[in-house]
Amino acid sequence: MTDCSQNCGGRYSYGLAATLSIIAGKWKPLILYFLLDGPKRYGELKRNVHGVSAKVLIQQLKELEADRVLARTDYKEVPPRVDYALTPLGRSLADRIVPLCTWGTENMAEMVSILAERDRLL
Amino acid sequence: MTDCSQNCGGRYSYGLAATLSIIAGKWKPLILYFLLDGPKRYGELKRNVHGVSAKVLIQQLKELEADRVLARTDYKEVPPRVDYALTPLGRSLADRIVPLCTWGTENMAEMVSILAERDRLL
DNA sequence: CTGTATCCAAAGGGATACTG
DNA sequence: CAGTATCCCTTTGGATACAG
């Protein structure tokens, strides 16, 4: 989505399109949110972001790193130890994701109902 | 993502997983954001959400409707006139999306640089 | 422990043409 | 105007095995 020419009735959503191009990816918002808790090692991410595979995790981490929202630190130890942390830019982004989590939590009853209805229709 | 068992180091992200399951879809956040401007007709959405195809637009609208975040009104006229509006639930969700747009706008210079770098690597 | 490499399946999305 | 229907293709992500 390099084309950010989104115009929403006077509201310009260039910014939204740009943001979406960064957090697009099944696990990226969860990763960013998790890292608000502090730097985490690869294994910690793997265990806590339930369902993600090794391949996809490392892939999304690399993309987030390339997009400058997180930084990878290799401690050059044996056995290997690396961790991933939010950059200042990444932290400011993750802060904007928190309201999404809050919304889901606040409306959990409705969410459960919606997801149940979705399953029912299958 | 019916499995919302996401646990982020003490931070529970059930809520985030739930929210993501609602806004997952290439154009959904843009649609929700656009509708903050007020109810819109199908054609308006089609013209303003740049790049979306007729098929995918109607598909995502139906899903958002089924998920109770927007309501469709058919005015039973000829030629046909229908519009889509945020429900109260949908409005509260769209409100949480605004910060994402703001973030992209605030960091637009960085965004441009990041997207340019991404293209360069192709 | 932190990844890589390979192969594969499915979902999601897009183009085009058509309808009430 | 507001969709539908069909076909097709790319992207995304998942499983498994292996490596430094």
Tens digit of each residue's pLDDT (9 = 90 or more) over A56-84: 999 999 999 999 999 999 999 999 999 99
B36 and chain A: CB distance < 8 Å anywhere? yes
The residue of chain B with its CA nearest to that of A106 is: B15
pTM of the predicted protein model: 0.92
Chain A to chain B, count of Cβ pairs less than 8 Å apart?
184
Protein CA at B12 to nucleotide C1' at D10, angstroms: 35
Measured between beta carbons, the chain B residues lying within 8 angstroms of A22 are 111, 114
- What residue spans define the domains of chain A? 27-121
Which protein residue's Cα is closest to nucleotide D11 at C1'? Answer: A25
pLDDT, tens digit, 9 for 90 and up, residues B28-65: 999 999 999 999 999 999 999 999 999 999 999 999 99
The structure tokens 């084309």 sit at A3
Measured between CB atoms, does B47 come within 8 Å of chain A?
no
For A63-72, which contacts have Cβ atoms below 8 Å and span 24 or more sequence positions?
Answer: A63/A25, A63/A28, A64/A22, A64/A28, A64/A31, A64/A32, A64/A90, A66/B117, A66/B118, A66/B121, A67/A22, A67/B114, A67/B118, A68/B110, A68/B114, A69/A22, A69/A32, A69/A93, A70/A31, A70/A32, A70/A35
Asked if A19 and B103 count as a contact pair (C-beta separation under 8 A), the reply is yes
CATH T-level fold of A27-121: Arc Repressor Mutant, subunit A (1.10.10)
**Looking at residue B65, what is its pLDDT?**
98
